[in-house]
Amino acid sequence: MKVEMPVEPLKPADFASDQEVRWCPGCGDYAILAQVKKTLPGLGIPKEKIVFISGIGCSSRFPYYMNTYGFHSIHGRAMAVASGLKIARPDLNVWVVTGDGDGLSIGGNHLLHAIRRNIDMTVLLFNNRIYGLTKGQYSPTSEVGKRTKTSPRGSVDFPLHPLSVAIGAEASFVARALDVDLKHLGYVLERAAKHKGTSFVEIYQNCNIFNDGAYSYATDKGTKHDTRLILEHGKPLIFGKDREKGIRLNCTDPEIVTLGDGISEDDLLFHDEKAAEPSLAYLLTRMHHPNFPEAFGVFRAVERPCYEYVLDEMSDSTPPPQGAEDAEIDALLNSGDTWVVD
Amino acid sequence: MATSTAPTSKRTMVERKEHATVTIRFCGDSGDGMQLAGTQFTNSSSIFGNDVATLPDFPAEIRAPAGSLPGVSGFQINFSSHEIHTPGDRVDTMVAMNPAALKTNYKDVVPGGIILVNEDAFSKTNLQKAGLDVSPLEDATLRDYHVYKLPMGKLTTEAASGFGLSNKGVNRCKNFFALGVICWLYERPLAPIESWINSKMGRTPAVADANTATLRAGWNYCDTIELFPHAYRVAKAKIAPGTYRKITGNEATAIGLATAARRAGKELFIGSYPITPATTILETLAAMPQMGVKTFQAEDEIAAMCSTVGAAFAGACAVTSTSGPGLALKGEAMGLAVMTELPMVIVNVQRGGPSTGLPTKTEQSDYLQAMWGRNGECPMPVLAACTPSDCFEMAVEAMRIAVQYMTPVILLTDGYLANGSEPWKIPKSSSLPRFDVVHPTNSNGEAFLPYKRNERGARPWAIPGTKGLEHRIGGLEKQAETGNVNYDPDNHQRMICERADKVAKVADSIPDLKIDGNPDAELLVVGWGSTYGAITTAVERANKRGQKVAHVHLRYLNPMPKNTEDVMKRFKKVIVPEMNMGQLIIKLRSDFLIDAKGINKVQGKPFLVSDIEAAIESALGEG
Ligand code: SF4
């Protein structure tokens, strides 16, 4: 990426816009906003080169709170707007902020296609498993049986899992973080921002108004060690308060094992985020509470050509100097079979 | 360049009758290569020096069953020794390659006209496929015509064998046999066609040679066997000097857009989704990376529109192309473009609707959609090209208006313009407008106001990457000047008016409406879009006959030229032919309170000149 280094290092506060932040008090979005502002200075990209693009939903207010270029577009279409912007201007650093409704329901199609094209941008999907802005209807990630205003007897919709979808769409970077685990969130954001290609990050985000406690299993002190597994590249999959449990592959299925009693770390599944084939990363996205601990961190980070850079190479994108375009246009107009009438 | 004379006939006795204008139609199965034969005949005629106008008529299905009625494909060309504006109402000479083509087309031939058939295709099975019990070659069906039955299959086999092609490959050459016959009949030069064959098929010499041999065989066959009692000649037209090329509407649109971007000193971004009949715009632009064109084939129409909005925000000359159903899908994002006041062009190549409708047929039924087919008060400039080559000029105009007024602009064309072709006198780049695109580079130490308007009502086009001008835009209502989200009632009204005023101000930059025909007439014919050729010809003929008729053609539909009301009110009677059920007329009647009468045709086909002449006749006849 062609970026100039800023003269003075930026601070998180430099990224705050003059707009009052209007999420509900206690909303998980605040923590994510703060962490993004903390991450940006470290990237060394001038803020005028950064663009935040969103769709519609609580999370999509995000660009208004960033003192960068921003575009609060329409419902579900952030990925498409961002794709056009990034293709036209490969020099920009582009972030998409979306939610489970915006990104996976109305905007599902665009999400798949931007990911498969591997357009170099960082996509943050705030997953709160509910429609917040419209005041509490079930979303594509809500669990079956969820009672909401549009599913008074329990939702009959089978949910989908954002990271499984992203891998199915050939994502080159897939990660998951938790709104309240600031340090780990910061690590994931930085990794995502530095990855070249579409970086897809699912952030578990608590909507304390309409779906409070959706992730309490992963945040409560008492349970979090058994329900979360932090991924580290090249390391075995270990979790538990005393790191006493691990994930082993039994045929093609993961299984929880306790270390000791003849089972050593070497018997466990080792995490390889750079694996060429995404099968094991996909398997990790299928581990769900309560049967398994849920994985956090970078599931997959592989190199693959980015649509907009390849296209840019193919096209002669620098306009000729002022006045010199005449010859170029005349050549275009006179292309094909011509004849002269005198 | 190819020479523009026909091969010399060995027949010394051949008499050539002069005609001023001739209309020919090639028709056959969609696998018979009729579009190619028609296009090559057009090229040859253009290069020979005639004025030409064409009308391809594609079947909706790519491969309907061979020999069936829905599989018939046609190509009509009108060529003349004077200026012409339409592909012709009635056909003088028709080539029919099979029974289905003959059945669906023969009625368009003028009584006494020529029908050439490939008699080898009139087998029992083929007759059945066309729903015919008796061959029309054997009963009285064609008694009003001069019918020539040629064993084209057999003759092609003789001509094209010996080059090593398969039977199927040999059989594929027969469109060139038909073309050779027609070229002999109308004294067309073969050289441009042969050089085309060599350039397109040269990589497989056997194919190129077989086709060339078949073309010549068709020509020689006529020359040798005295098939026709006489031949014809259509002299060169008096055409303004210059360099010409043949151009279709979609080619002209694509070239116009690429040119406009360069005149604005920018690169062109096109985000589109393939849709008939707009696809060739995307294809043509995809072949221009050397002009800095970036093509993005999006996953759907919505993404195409949204990517265009994103590219416009990024500072590119942004474009999307589509047809009616696609425009419907783009509606919401077009509203976003209006709200964010970003420059871009939306090309809508209209086709028969509603829904999937008639994808390959023409119609003008998206005027209302273009004007008002979005939620909220959502005005944008709407332009309409009136001939294939006018698509070039209007594409340039659409981009000019977009960047000068910071607004999305709709350019309406239609299937008839998109695929129809005519000779185009190529303009010089230096004669084309240059646009003043200025991106602000700083805010002089003050807070940047992204919605502060200039004298045109346009907001500044500040693009990402510009230090100090970081700002946020979006689909929520904007506060005047600051562009911050704002729900204040008075502000909303103000912004709606400002957006509307800006579009209205475009009228300051467009030419007045020009009256053709007789300006002192009682009757005015008002047209827009592709009806131009038929109306122009009908009005010319009416005035020649001594009737008094005027014609205006609207290329700027929103806003209209400033003198439009004046012009409309000058005439006692106004008729408005449209290929819809009466759409523009709603606007004319409501804005100008005139008693305009609609002439409406929705058959997926353009107006015939005679349709308009009849309408003029009846309008003048009514007291
Ligand atoms: S509704 Fe939920 S997600 Fe939306 S701002 Fe409030 S707490 Fe956050």
Q: Which pLDDT value is given to residue B435?
A: 83
Same domain, B187 and B250: no
Confidence of residue B436 (pLDDT cuts 50, 70, 90): confident
- Rounded CA separation B184/B176 (Å): 12
Helix (H, G, I), strand (E, B) or coil at B229: coil
The answer to whether B49 contacts chain A (CB < 8 Å) is yes
Same domain membership, residue B294 and residue B181 = no
CB-based contact, A252 to chain B, within 8 Å: no
pLDDT at B497 over 80: yes
Helix residue ranges per DSSP H, chain A: 29-43, 78-88, 100-101, 108-117, 162-168, 182-194, 216-219, 224-227, 279-285, 307-314, 325-333
The rounded mean pLDDT for chain B is 94
Atom of ligand 1 nearest to the CA of A58: 4
In a 3-state reduction of DSSP, which class is residue A234?
coil
Question: Are B146 and B285 in a shared domain?
Answer: no
Overall average pLDDT of the B455-463 stretch: 98
- Asked whether residue B452 is domain-assigned, the answer is no
Which residues fall within 8 angstroms of residue A233, CB to CB, at 6 or more apart? A271, A272, A273, A274, A298
Q: Which of the 8 DSSP states describes residue B399?
A: H
**Last residue within a domain, chosen from B388, B407, B431:** B431
pLDDT bracket for residue A317 (50, 70, 90): low
DSSP label at A233?
T
pTM for the whole thing? 0.94
In the listed set B411, B431, B451, which residue is the last one of a domain according to the structure? B431
Cβ contact, residue pair A63, B484, below 8 Å: no
Q: Which CATH number does the domain housing residue B392 bear?
A: 3.40.50.970
Residue B8 lies in a domain: no
Assess if CATH 3.40.50.970 describes domain A12-231+273-309.
yes
pLDDT tens, position by position, A37-90: 999 999 999 999 999 999 999 999 999 999 999 999 999 999 999 999 999 999
pLDDT at B3 over 70: no
Ligand 1 centroid to B603 CA: how many Å? 54
Q: Which one has a higher pLDDT value, B229 or B411?
A: B411
Pairing of strands A338-341, B242-248: antiparallel
**Residues B222 and B321 placed together within one structural domain of the fold:** no
Q: What residue of B is the nearest CA neighbor of A15?
A: B470
B91-96/A294-301 β-pairing: unpaired
Residues B541 and B568 in one domain: yes
CB contact under 8 A, B318 and A110: no
- B604/B618 Cα distance (integer angstroms): 24
Count of domains forming chain B: 3
Q: Which pLDDT band holds residue A261 (cuts at 50, 70, 90)?
A: confident
Domain encompassing residue B594: 516-621
Ligand 1 pocket test: pick from A32, A127, A208, A211 the residue with the most ligand atoms within 8 Å of its Cβ.
A208
Residue of chain B whose alpha carbon sits nearest to that of A72: B474
Residues B255 and B218 in one domain: no
For residues B14-23, average pLDDT:
92
The residue-averaged pLDDT of A82-102 equals 98
Each residue's pLDDT tens digit, B40-73: 999 999 989 999 999 998 877 666 888 999 999 9
Predicted local confidence at residue B2, as pLDDT? 41
Domain shared by B550 and B415, yes or no: no
Report pLDDT for A341: 87
**Bond before A9 cis per omega within 30 degrees:** no
Report the pLDDT value the prediction gives residue A2, as an integer from 0 to 100: 47
CATH code of B82's domain:
3.40.920.10
B253 with B222, same domain? no
Q: Which helix (H) or strand (E) holds A249?
A: strand A245-250
| Res. B409 pLDDT band, cuts 50 70 90 | very high
Q: Is A131 in the pocket of ligand 1 (CB under 6 A)?
A: no
Tell whether A112 lies on the interface with B, counting CB pairs under 8 A: yes
Contacts of B168 (CB under 8 A, 6+ apart): none
Q: Which ligand 1 atom is nearest residue A210's CA?
A: 2
Looking at the fold, whether B56 and B161 belong to one and the same domain comes out as yes
Average pLDDT over residues B497-506: 98
Q: For B84-95, what is the mean pLDDT?
A: 96
- Say which CATH number the domain at B600 has: 3.40.50.920
- How far apart CA B466 and CA B484 sit, in angstroms, is 19
What's the pLDDT tens digit per position in A124-178? 999 999 999 999 999 999 999 999 999 999 999 999 999 999 999 999 999 999 9
Query: Residue B142: inside a domain, yes or no?
Result: yes
Residue-level length of chain A: 342
Select from B102, B95, B72, B71 the least CA-distant residue to B23. Answer: B95
Reply yes or no on whether the pLDDT at A107 is more than 80: yes
Is residue B361 included in any domain, yes or no?
Answer: yes
* A291-304 core/surface letters (b: 16 or more CB in 10 A; e: else): ebbbbbbbbbbbee
Reported as a pLDDT band with limits 50, 70 and 90, residue A8 is confident
* Strand order, beta sheet including B242-248: A338-341, B242-248, B421-425
Does any ligand 1 atom lie closer than 6 A to the CB of residue A23? yes
B431 touches chain A (CB under 8 A): no
Torsion of the alpha carbons at B129, B132, B133 and B139, rounded to the nearest 10: -140
Q: Tell me whether residue B9 is in a domain.
A: no
CA distance B231 to B187: 8
Residue B332 lies in a domain: yes
> What are the pLDDT digits (tens) for A248-257?
999 999 999 9
B472 in a structural domain? no
Residue A32: CB within 6 Å of ligand 1?
no
Q: Which residues in A lie closer than 8 A to residue B266 (C-beta atoms)?
A: 319
Residue-wise pLDDT for B143-197, tens only, equals 999 999 999 999 999 999 999 999 999 999 999 999 999 999 999 999 999 999 9
Quote the crossing angle between the two packed helices A307-314 and A78-88, to the nearest 10°.
30
Q: Are residues B63 and B183 in the same domain?
A: yes
pLDDT over 70, % of chain A: 97
Q: Whose CA is nearest to atom 5 of ligand 1?
A: A23
For B58-79, give the DSSP string.
--SSTTPPTTSGGGEEEEEEEE
A33 lines ligand 1 (CB under 6 A): no
Residue B474 lies in a domain: no
Which residues have a Cβ under 8 Å from the Cβ of B226 and sit 6 or more positions away?
B11
Cα distance between residue B237 and residue B239, in whole Å: 6
Whether the pLDDT of residue B598 is over 50: the answer is yes
Q: Are B408 and B373 in contact (CB under 8 A)?
A: no
Ligand 1 centroid, distance to A138 Cα (angstroms):
14
Q: Are B371 and B338 in contact (CB under 8 A)?
A: no
B443 vs B181: which has the higher pLDDT? B181
Hey, whose CA ends up nearest to atom 6 of ligand 1? A24
Specify whether B174 is located in the same domain as B299.
no
| Domain extents in chain A | 12-231+273-309, 236-270
CA distance B318 to B340: 14
Place of tokens 């996976």: A104
Q: Which residues of A touch B318 (CB under 8 A)?
A: 84, 88
Are both B217 and B84 inside the same structural domain?
yes
